[in-house]
Amino acid sequence: MGEFDLIARYFARPAKRSPLGPGDDCALLAPAPGMQLAVSSDMLVEGRHFLSTVDPARLGHKALAVNLSDLAACGAKPLAFTLALSLPTVDESWLAGFSQGLFALADAHDCELVGGDTTRGPLNICITVFGEVPAGAALLRSGARAGEDIWVSGTLGDARLALEAFRGTLSLPAALFAQARARMESPTPRVTLGHALRGIASAAVDVSDGMLGDLGHILRASEIGARIDADAAVTCIGVSTDPDFAAAALPIEILRLCALSGGDDYELVFTAPASAREAVAQAARSAATAVTRIGQTERDAGLRLVDAQGAPITQRFDSFDHFA
Ligand code: ADP
Ligand code: MG
């Protein structure tokens, strides 16, 4: 199968909303009047972002999910995406699974594939997403003020628990491992919540490299600091609500590490004034996504971690850095 047959068979679908989809030199997009385009790229590299054994449908899902997560963090509505794919061989069963997982998520968000590039090489997937947001309404990292609530959506730490179980550094009962692994391989981008938080959240970021590190981007951009209740973050670990979790007897230091700096969560961390608590709760209900308050922003720069009793925590947490 040649390059163009491969594209036609697995990736070229007629554009429904965009004026021009795959097949020409450029795709054409038509954001509505008064809207700004929100654009983001994320690349997944075999061996670095995923294991070669991952189910191709989950990989197709994740490649788009991590990109939609960036649109969510801006409060943008997905429009379209491009896919640049480097493949070592033409493996049709892999391509069928990958494109099925990719398009299932794309269709769920009404986000269409409008073009891309396909080449031979090490397995590497780069997606660029395009979304739209009313001019001036995007959620930014720089909008937080001292004295606001810090919230996190959904669950934290499960992806890191699964990764550590893969590495053999901890052991999880089989059912919990499957649940945590699904969170690692098949994250849920919080697009609906991001959209609902426009005009309510003062700043937002999505959690890809670890919650504290990503929150740090908000704190630096907004020139403030924060106090975080580490144990409130630990309650966000999805598998921790399972009755079998206690039997795994994982040390609190491991749980805090996973929740606070685990990475690969694709949740939203956002700030909002205390006066907006009811509005935040309403946005969460409308998006059918849980939110948890995990701390407050403060005037003094830096992060102060405390436990449920308010006592300082000295454990260090580093977020992920590809070049550190
Ligand atoms: P060019 O030579 O101009 O870079 P290509 O020959 O690479 O164009 O691609 C031909 C057409 O197929 C283009 O419209 C491109 O957007 C589309 N395309 C290539 N790879 C993909 C892909 N993986 N998914 C979707 N469309 C693709
Ligand atoms: Mg090309």
Q: Output the tens digit of pLDDT for each of the chain's 324 residues.
A: 888 999 999 999 999 999 999 999 999 999 999 999 999 999 999 999 998 889 999 999 999 999 999 999 999 999 999 999 999 999 999 999 999 999 999 999 999 999 999 999 999 999 999 999 999 999 999 999 999 999 999 999 999 999 999 999 999 999 999 999 999 999 999 999 999 999 999 999 999 999 999 999 999 999 999 999 999 999 999 999 999 998 889 999 999 999 999 999 999 999 999 999 999 999 999 999 999 999 999 999 999 999 999 999 988 888 777 776
23 and 101 in a common domain? yes
Domain membership of residue 322 (yes or no) is no
Mutational pocket test of ligand 1: of 4, 6, 7, 43, the residue with most ligand atoms within 8 Å of the beta carbon: 7
Say how far apart CA 28 and CA 118 lie, in whole Å: 19
The residue whose C-alpha atom lies closest to atom 6 belonging to ligand 1 is 117
* Token digits of residue 97: 């699974």
Domain membership of residue 189 (yes or no) is yes
Full-prediction pTM beyond 0.85? Answer: yes
Considering its fold, how many domains does the chain have in total?
A: 2
CA of 71 to the centre of ligand 2 (A): 26
Q: What are phi and psi of 4, to 5 degrees?
A: -75, -30
Domain membership of residue 311 (yes or no) is no
The residue behind tokens 């609902």 is 196
Pocket of ligand 1 contains residue 294 by CB under 6 Å:
no
62 and 156 in a common domain? no
Say how far apart CA 32 and CA 133 lie, in whole Å: 9
95 and 203 in a common domain? no
212 and 81 in a common domain? no
Those residues whose beta carbon sits under 5 angstroms from the ion ligand 2 are 117
207 and 254 in a common domain? yes
Q: Residue 252's domain is classified under what CATH number? A: 3.90.650.10
Domain membership of residue 280 (yes or no) is yes
72 and 188 in a common domain? no
Domain membership of residue 314 (yes or no) is no
Q: Residue 107's domain is classified under what CATH number? A: 3.30.1330.10
257 and 203 in a common domain? yes
The residue whose C-alpha atom lies closest to atom 21 belonging to ligand 1 is 116
Pocket of ligand 1 contains residue 5 by CB under 6 Å:
no
300 and 180 in a common domain? yes
Q: 208: domain range? A: 149-306
Q: What are phi and psi of 101, to 5 degrees?
A: -65, -40
The residue whose C-alpha atom lies closest to atom 27 belonging to ligand 1 is 116
The residues, ordered by sequence, that sit 6+ positions from 249 with a Cβ below 8 Å of its Cβ are: none
Domain membership of residue 201 (yes or no) is yes
Pocket of ligand 1 contains residue 23 by CB under 6 Å:
yes
73 and 45 in a common domain? yes
CA of 95 to the centre of ligand 2 (A): 19
* Token digits of residue 2: 């040649």
162 and 284 in a common domain? yes
